[in-house]
Structure 1
Amino acid sequence: MRARPIDEPHRVSSQLELLFDLTFVVAVAAVTARLAHGVAAGHGPAGLVPFLQVFFAIWWAWMNFTWFASSYDTDDVAYRLLTMVQMAGVLVLAAGVPAAADDSDYRVVTLGYLVMRAGLVAQWLRVAAEDAPSRRTALRYAAGITVAQVGWVLRLLLAQAGALPPSALPPVFAGLAVLELAVPRWAERAGATGWHPHHIAERYGLFTIILLGESVLAATTGVGRAIEAAGAGVSLVVVAVSALVLLFALWWLYFLVPVGEGLRDRRHRSYLWGYGHYGIFAALAALGAGLEVAVEGAGHALGASPLAICYAVAIPAGVFLVLLWTVPAPILAGPVVRPGALLGCVAVILLLPLAVRLTGVAAVVAAIAAVCVLLIAVTVAPRASRRARAEEA
């Protein structure tokens, strides 16, 4: 368990990391489907807190493994087996999502999370035993993660016994989440771990693609339900095509940012960028739920109002765009997307649902997609013009 070089050439995701990501496809699909179900039934706000809580567990477990693997991916037998234990925990967590979303029953979700974290604790203990320079840091990680898991178990037991009222559950969750987030900062004070900037950038990009793929799957599911209920109509086609264009546009915008170079040049600010991606990832997952409901609503009536359906698309898209500007800011020399243009597009996106009574859901979703395409155009066109002038000179 020796740390890998931070400047290793051609460092890319391993086959094991890609397999690890596939288990998260199941978990993200489960939490997105439950949010879509709540939005379609007209209970979107009520389902938002369980969605954010379960998604935090998914994101945090994925992120911890990703940064650990960037430092200590030895790919030996013990490493592979402990990683597979974490994969099993992801699948257990995914199985518990319906109960957590519908009945606030977090027993299975908590069990899956504990399995994931136990696998990571074992990895850190291996580092402590085999990599003397990083021993103190590894022991801090192992101790901090273990203390946090004790807190999650106590929260579950107290809630099951009725000693913790429902109103206290969100604050307790927030406190434990802050504790989890504080562990890396505390552990790294004993000695910073090495990680590969371009490998981390690639890993985050791959998870972004997973979330965009989940949105495609969610929209496709909505199309199937709409066709079964009322057949294919013009509105359904417009919403489906617009959803695809919107996802393509968000993909294009995300990968305009030179993250690898930014992480290489400003490693000390990586926490802000890494933690900020919780909002980016959650927004993409919520957008998938909104698009599924919008497509399904184009075929038949749902419990949600047209305004609620439009905002289920507009709000996640707007949040994603704002975070696309603010989250990379600490590691970049300057913004890739002009803030004025971006904020103007976000304002338009958030105002468009108000016109749903006049235009319908399909037109609103199409307009949101068009605004994002316009943002790409005003961002890319000046670059192309500058390159052309440079070549002429």
Structure 2
Amino acid sequence: MRARAADEPHRPASQLELLFDLTFVVSVASLTAQLAHGVAENHAAESILPFLQVFFAIWWAWMNFTWFASAFDTDDAFYRLLTMVQMGGVLLLGAGVPAAFNDGDYLAVTLGYIVMRIGLIANWLRAAVEEPASRRTALRYAAGFAVLQLGWLLRLVLQQTGLLPEQLQLVAFVMLAALELTVPRWAERTGHTSWHPYHIADRFGLFAIILLGESVLAASNGVAAALKSGGVSASLIAISAASLVLLFALWWMYFLQPAGETLSTNRDKLYLWGYWHFVIFAALAALGAGLEVAITLPLTGPQLHAEAFIVGYSVAIPTAVFMALLWAIHAPLTVRRVIRPSVILPAAVTVLALPAGVSAFGVVGVVGGIAVVCALVVVVTVMQAGQKREAS
């Protein structure tokens, strides 16, 4: 296992990485379904914390695998087998999502996360043995993650035995999650791993597509439920079309700013860019749940205004957060900004204001309005980029 060149040409995601991502499709789908159920049952507030905790485990394990693969992917038999171990951990985690949401039981989620980390730690130890130049860094990664797995295991044991009070469970999670985030910064002090900027950008883009795909699945589930209960209607057609336009606009928006070029000239700011993607990715996952409920709501009989208001915001808040942070993570990294704050920030504010009119326009009107605003952001940004190219 030798470090790969950071300037290696034509470095896309490998077939193994694409296979690895498929296991996350299952976990995120289960997570999105549980959040949608919470919103539909008017328990959105109670569902946010378990959603964010489980999504952190999914995102952080995926990110660490991607980080390692960008620098040390040898694609030999041993590397493939350790990747399979991590895939098994993802599937175990996904199987435990319903219990985590419904019963506060994080047994399967925690064990699945630990299995993923065992595969990653083994890879770092192998890099330490076979790549002398990266030995100290690799050992720090392995040691840091290994110690923290003991912390997660201790938290699980205390939870299962009732020795950890409920009010301290979230505190323990936040502390361990914060320590997880510090491991890369601590490990990289001994030398930078040779991650590839264009490969990282490609991998993050693929994960964004996976999350948008989960929104497509959630919307499809909503259409199926609506058809079963009420059949085809003008409302169903309108909100389905609006959902498709919204997802397509967000996809287009994400890829407007070339991330590979940005990262290649700002290698020291990868942490800022990568860590904030937790919120961007979580917003995309939450959007799927909001769309699923929004599609079924107009066809399930009379609804309280408060419920429709919450459903409107379950679509508006993730969309606005995605838009604002998409600009924010690129703003410090490049002077050639494709996404302009004068366009995207007022659009995000407008999106947040739209659910206030749910009593007049209904959920269909709110989702349609959000889709129109996002589509206009894409149109205006593309036109501005074209005018800038012509001027230069």
* 1:200 matches 2:200: yes
2:308 pairs with 1:331? no
Deviations 1:92-131 (A, max 9, x none): 0000000001111000000100000000000001011111
Please tell me the residue identity of whatever aligns with 1:192: H
Q: Is the 8 A contact 1:273 1:330 kept in 2?
A: no
Structure 1 residue 379: deviation in Å?
1.1
- Corresponding residue for 1:76? 76
1:244 and 2:230 equivalent? no
Distance 1:269 1:279 in 2: 17
Deviations 1:14-46 (A, max 9, x none): 110000001100011010010000001100110
The answer to whether the 8 A contact 2:249-2:371 is kept is yes
Residue equivalent to 2:57: 57
Corresponding position of 1:305: 307
Give me the whole-angstrom Cα distance separating, in 2, the residues matched to 1:353 and 1:51: 22
Match of 1:178 in 2: 178
CA distance in structure 1 between the aligned counterparts of 2:115 and 2:313, rounded to whole angstroms: 36
Query: Which residue matches 2:388?
Result: 386
Structure 1: which amino acid aligns with 2:120? L
Q: Secondary structure at the match of 2:345?
A: helix
1:150 aligns with 2:150: yes
Partner of 2:269: 269
| C-alpha displacement of 1:336 | 2.1
Deviates more, 1:168-177 or 1:157-166: 157-166
Aligned equivalent of 1:348: 350
| C-alpha distance after superposition, 1:244-271 (max 9, x if no partner) | 0000000111000111011101100111
Number of the residue aligned with 2:188:
188
Partners of 1:322 and 1:342 within 8 A in 2:
yes
TM-score (norm 2): 0.98
Distance 2:82 2:315 in 1: 38
Q: Does 1:18 align with 2:28?
A: no
| Matched AA of 1:353 | P
Determine the C-alpha separation between the residues in 2 that align with 1:234 and 1:31: 30
Pairwise CA distance, 1:374? 1.0
Match of 1:140? 140
* Amino acid of the structure 1 residue aligned with 2:57: A
Unaligned runs of 5+ in 1: none
Aligned residue pairs, count: 390
Q: CA deviation at 1:186?
A: 0.4
Residue in 2 that maps onto 1:116: 116
Residue in structure 2 matching 1:319, options 318, 321, 340: 321
Distance apart, 1:296 and its partner CA: 1.3
Alignment deviations for residues 193-231 of structure 1 (CA, whole Å, 9 cap, x no partner): 001110100000000000001100100000000110111
Deviation for aligned residue 1:192:
1.0
> In 2, Cα distance between the equivalents of 1:208 and 1:91?
19
In 2, Cα distance between equivalents of 1:261 and 1:34: 37
CA contact (8 A) 2:338 2:385 kept: no
CA distance in 2, matches of 1:198, 1:229: 47
CA RMSD between the two structures: 1.1
- Equivalent in the alignment of 1:287: 287
Distance in structure 1 (CA, Å) of the matches to 2:40 and 2:86: 33
Q: For 1:67 and 1:270, how far apart are their aligned partners in 2? A: 11
Q: Give, as a single letter, the amino acid of the residue that structure 1 aligns with 2:379.
A: A
Unaligned runs of 5+ in 2: none
Matched, 1:106 2:106: yes
In structure 2, distance between residues paired with 1:124 and 1:330 = 31
C-alpha distance in structure 1 between counterparts of 2:348 and 2:13, whole Å: 34
Instruction: Pick the aligned partner of 1:374 from 359, 368, 376.
Output: 376
CA displacement 1:152-183 (0-9 Å, x = unmatched): 11111111222211111111101000000000
The residue that corresponds to 2:234 in the other structure is 234
> Cα deviation per residue 1:24-80 (whole Å; 9 max; x = unaligned)?
000110100100000011001100000000000000000000010000000111100
SS in 1 for 2:332: helix
Q: Match of 2:253?
A: 253
1:334, CA displacement in angstroms? Answer: 4.2
Q: Distance in 1 between matches of 2:346 and 2:388?
A: 23
TM-score w.r.t. length of structure 1: 0.97
Percent of matched pairs sharing the same residue? 60
Deviations 1:260-299 (A, max 9, x none): 0111011001110011100000000000000010011122
Secondary structure of 2:105's partner? coil
